Amino acid sequence: MSKLALDHEILMTIEKPARYIGGEVNAVYKNKEDVDVRFVMCFPDVYEIGMSHLGIQILYDMFNRFEDVWCERVYSPWLDLDKIMREKNIPLFALESQDPIRDFDFLGITIQYEMCYTNILQVLDLAQIPLLAKDRTKEHPIVIGGGPCTYNPEPIADFFDIFYIGEGETVYRELMDVYKEWKASGEDRVEFLKRASRISGLYVPMFYEEIYKEDGTIDHREKLYDKAPDRITKEIVTDVSDTYYPMKPVVPFIKVTQDRVVLEIQRGCIRGCRFCQAGQLYRPVRERDVEVLKDYAIQMLHNTGHEEISLSSLSSSDYSKLDELLSFLMKECEERHTNISLPSLRIDAFSLDVMSKVQDVKKSSLTFAPEAGSQRLRNVINKGLTEEVILNGAHLAFEGGWTKVKLYFMLGLPTETVEDIHAIGDISNKIAAEFFETVPKEKRKNGTVQIVTSTSFFIPKPFTPFQWARMCTKEEFLDKAYECRRGITSQLNQKRIRYNWHEADVSVMEGVFARGDRRVGKVILDAYKKGCVYDAWGEYFHMDVWEECFRENGVSIDFYTTRERQDDEIFPWDFLDCGVTKEFLLREWHNAQAENVTPNCKQKCNACGAAKFGCGICFEPRS
């Protein structure tokens, strides 16, 4: 490894210097003289969070399998180093080579959540790359964004050269080849972007312009380059068993958020919850072959030394070979003294039986996510859970020895009433009562039941049936949290229930970014210049600064949040095609208002549009 970008004096004064020195187990090193393209992958948050992201590990592995490409990594410097880098004019650097980011060919930024937008600007700024794409020259890296937030890239469109829409394993090789041809041609930066715009799944925002109506809604989009596509369709891996996967993921020196081997068992979700963006974006469901997963698990445990393996998917219980996979893993993990983590399980007899087998004798807490307190509202959001199923799950859990239960709900859902809010306290109380009915006093060895009821605030997201919905104001959210607390404190078992709620300010801002257009970009830029960064971290979020920037730019927060959209409104993201059609989403929006439940994908095909990709559950027999 080359000389460190930070000298020992700096490293001794900052928190967790291991965030910045590279050299981790399985990190990839190449001779930069032997490659044609240098790509640096960025997660715009602190190292511990970025290192826990599977997507970057997959792309890092994929790029480094290309002989002509060297992919490195970079994360947002924490505030202590940020200050030093600005004072000493130290350019942001990649972990592996310790070279400045500005010297690379590509800077790829994964955008997993809206509240990291100012961190994207922090990365560009510290890298000494112009914040606005229009100000960059041939000497600067191509800045490309990917991840779920690119399904409405418009609020940050001015900061990116390219957005990659969809799953990253498909067309990057083609983009690298086009880049090499362009580099040899001597053409200017715009000519490369024109070439890139003709590659499937790539969106180059500089070639488009939004035209607005007098009321502020979009009238239409105009193309500024005639060969740019009218519509960009997401990229999708049709066979997830035959694609890239990191057998040697990078192992950090320090503890990170997800310190374990991650085994992605499937992509997509059959459930169709109307609030859930991921459930729509990643359709159709595609399962990995169980034999492939067994092989992956053995190799990854051997190559990392991790003491835990986690099964990753949006709904692990729906993986058809889960029982077989877990039987294999339990045998392997017992021999290796390795734990198994099972997130995203539905609370039913099968799942609880599985958890009983894989968890230690000391039972950790169980998580239920009813999302809404009343059955009426669960039907509105198409949650597919009845009170009977919830209470039966609790009953089985208490019989199995669990005493701690976490419950997750949302406040501010469409059509919500005070009765629906109070029902959160009611169902929490019924679960507590179920414990006392299930477990006799003499058998309560692990103590009495403890319930933690948490509420987040509903945020409408693009490409969901609720993209038309009105969002609550901060004051309305807080009123709802108060009503929820009042509902809980009125219950017989209130002492067994602890209540937590999310911050309303951050939720409002996330709502603006989620459904914003390009006019929001200037606000983000100004907020960053006034010191906003790490907005996803509550202690560093400054709502007063954000409100000031909205006022100064003449942009209304309420326009993007509290306004209910008309059925025929053109959205900033309508030029993107995620497979699920707008007609289907509108039908589901009306079904929500009528409180109609839509069957899941295994029960019935609901003609959402995802069959166009020719793969996955769309072509499997229904149960």
pLDDT tens-digit series, residues 220-258: 999 999 999 999 999 999 999 999 999 999 999 999 998
- Give, rounded to a whole angstrom, the gap between the first and last alpha carbons of the chain: 55
Is the pLDDT score of 561 beyond 60?
Answer: yes
Q: 341 with 274, same domain?
A: yes
**Predicted local confidence at residue 88, as pLDDT:** 97
Give the number of domains in the chain: 3
Is the pLDDT score of 494 beyond 60?
Answer: yes
Find the mean pLDDT for residues 137-143: 97
Going by pLDDT thresholds of 50, 70 and 90, the confidence category of residue 149 is: very high
**Predicted local confidence at residue 441, as pLDDT:** 86
Pairing of strands 450-457, 497-501: parallel
Domain boundary among 460, 479, 509: 509
Find the mean pLDDT for residues 42-60: 97
Whether the ω angle into residue 17 lies within 30 degrees of 0, i.e. cis, is no
Is the pLDDT score of 362 beyond 50?
Answer: no
H/E stretch holding 284 reads none
**Residue 145 located in a structural domain:** yes
Q: 386 with 500, same domain?
A: yes
Find the mean pLDDT for residues 27-51: 97
Domain boundary among 509, 525, 543: 509
**Residue 600 located in a structural domain:** yes
Average pLDDT, rounded, for the chain = 95
**Predicted local confidence at residue 359, as pLDDT:** 61
Domain boundary among 482, 509, 536: 509
| DSSP label at residue 171 | S
**Residue 573 located in a structural domain:** no
C-beta separation of 340 from 309 below 8 A:
yes
Q: 283 with 386, same domain?
A: no
Going by pLDDT thresholds of 50, 70 and 90, the confidence category of residue 334 is: confident
Q: 147 with 224, same domain?
A: yes
Q: 468 with 417, same domain?
A: yes
**Predicted local confidence at residue 23, as pLDDT:** 96
pLDDT tens digits for range 79-124: 999 999 999 999 999 999 999 999 999 999 999 999 999 999 999 9
The pTM of the full predicted model, rounded to 2 decimals, is 0.96
Residue 355 CA: distances (Å) to CA of 8, 239, 342, 347, 558: 47, 29, 8, 10, 45
C-beta separation of 368 from 393 below 8 A:
yes
Going by pLDDT thresholds of 50, 70 and 90, the confidence category of residue 565 is: very high
**Residue 123 located in a structural domain:** yes
Give the Cα separation of 366 and 357 in Å (integer): 14
Find the mean pLDDT for residues 184-203: 97
**Residue 540 located in a structural domain:** no
R_g over Cα of the chain? 25
**Predicted local confidence at residue 145, as pLDDT:** 98
In three-state secondary structure terms, 389 is helix
Token pair listed for 594: 């009528």
Supply the DSSP string of 538-600, one letter for each residue: GGG--HHHHHHHHHHTT--HHHHTTPPPPTTPPPTTTTEE-SS-HHHHHHHHHHHHTTPPPPP
Q: 210 with 78, same domain?
A: yes
Is the pLDDT score of 523 beyond 60?
Answer: yes
Q: 373 with 330, same domain?
A: no
Is the pLDDT score of 195 beyond 80?
Answer: yes
Residue 456 CA: distances (Å) to CA of 391, 439, 490, 503, 536: 22, 31, 21, 8, 14
Q: 352 with 398, same domain?
A: no
Is the pLDDT score of 623 beyond 90?
Answer: no
Q: Taking Cα atoms as reference points, which of 54, 33, 28 lies closest to residue 43?
A: 54
Pairing of strands 202-203, 208-212: unpaired
Q: 180 with 76, same domain?
A: yes
**Residue 568 located in a structural domain:** no
**Residue 559 located in a structural domain:** no
Is the pLDDT score of 176 beyond 60?
Answer: yes
Q: 92 with 16, same domain?
A: yes
Find the mean pLDDT for residues 188-194: 98
**Predicted local confidence at residue 364, as pLDDT:** 61
Q: 493 with 589, same domain?
A: no
Question: Residue 147's domain spans which residues?
Answer: 8-233
Find the mean pLDDT for residues 337-342: 85
Q: 148 with 17, same domain?
A: yes
- CATH number of the domain residue 88 falls in: 3.40.50.280
135: number of Cβ within 10 Å: 10
Give the Cα separation of 105 and 94 in Å (integer): 13
Q: What distance lies between CA 39 and its chain's CA centroid? A: 22
- CATH number of the domain residue 334 falls in: 3.30.750.210
Q: Taking Cα atoms as reference points, which of 198, 183, 215, 242 lies closest to residue 37?
A: 183
Give percent of the chain with pLDDT exceeding 70. Answer: 98
In degrees and rounded to multiples of 5, residue 438 shows phi and psi of -85, -40
Give the Cα separation of 172 and 168 in Å (integer): 7
Is the pLDDT score of 475 beyond 50?
Answer: yes
**Residue 535 located in a structural domain:** no
**Predicted local confidence at residue 2, as pLDDT:** 65
In three-state secondary structure terms, 178 is helix
